[in-house]
Amino acid sequence: MADAAEITIVEAGEIVETGERSPESMHLPGLNVNRLFKGEEWGKIEVLKLDEGDDNKKEMTTRDVIAQRAAKEFVPGSSCNTGWACRTLASDYAAKDGRHVFVQSENGVIDVGGYPKKGEESSDCINAGKETILPIPGASTFGSDVSFGQIRGGHLDMTVLGALECSQYGDIANYMIPGKMVTRHGWRHGSRRKF
């Protein structure tokens, strides 16, 4: 994303001298950086979500019922963008049924597990909703520009969408509310199936 920006500002947890780190550990050339500063609260977790253990003990909500239904649509070994919130639950239910799905989060990670157990959480491992997540062995991370390229380029088998409004035929209202942090779903048009 910094390649296309007019001005790139980097907030870093640590600033080191030139040559102190190996070239292969660098992810962004200094040529692309216009401003640099050391962050004050590096590593702060914004939305701490932890694995609650045995789901059989909790009361089923409407959200759980919808997520369980969505999980039945997952084909083992397929790739899916689930976003966050209710949609993250869907991949959890699929995993509990033994159907492994390569879950992609638009902020740049594929092969995401559920929420971490207490002590396993990290501010570096979050989903698009800023919730703590647990990458599973074999996961990979990349820039959000690559992530949206996967989505728009038709590289994902399925997308699970949340909707503010939906018709009886499944038509999703795709709009923005001025001044509100509500996003639309138009960028997810590339996946082969939508649920």
Render pLDDT for 140-176 as a digit per residue (tens, 0 to 9). 888 888 888 888 888 999 887 767 677 888 777 766 6
Active-site residue, selected from the candidate residues 24, 106, 120, 165:
106
User: Number of structural domains, the chain?
Assistant: 2
Residues 110 and 178 in one domain: yes
Residues 79, 155 within the same domain: yes
Single-letter residue type at 67? A
Alpha carbon separation from 23 to 36, 38, 156 (Å, rounded) = 19, 21, 32
State whether 14 and 84 are in the same domain: no
Q: Which helix (H) or strand (E) holds 62?
A: helix 62-71
pLDDT at residue 188 in the model: 52
Residue 22 shares a structural domain with residue 62: no
24 noted as active-site residue: no
Tell me the average pLDDT across 8-18. Answer: 88
Q: Is the pLDDT of residue 31 over 70?
A: yes
Q: What pTM was estimated for this model as a whole?
A: 0.68
Residues 69 and 162 occupy one common structural domain: yes
Domain of 127 in residue numbering reads as 55-194
Indicate whether 13 and 99 sit together in one domain: no
Sheet of 158-159: strand order equals 135-141, 109-112, 102-105, 79-81, 158-159, 193-194
Average pLDDT, stretch 95-105?
Answer: 85
Domain shared by 68 and 23, yes or no: no
Task: List beta partners, residue 10.
Answer: 36
Label residue 35 by pLDDT band (50, 70, 90).
Answer: very high
Q: What angle do CA 65, 54, 46 make, to 5 degrees?
A: 80
**Cα–Cα distance measured from residue 112 to residue 115, given in angstroms and rounded to the nearest whole number:** 9
Q: Are residues 102 and 23 in the same domain?
A: no
Pair (76, 17) in one structural domain? no
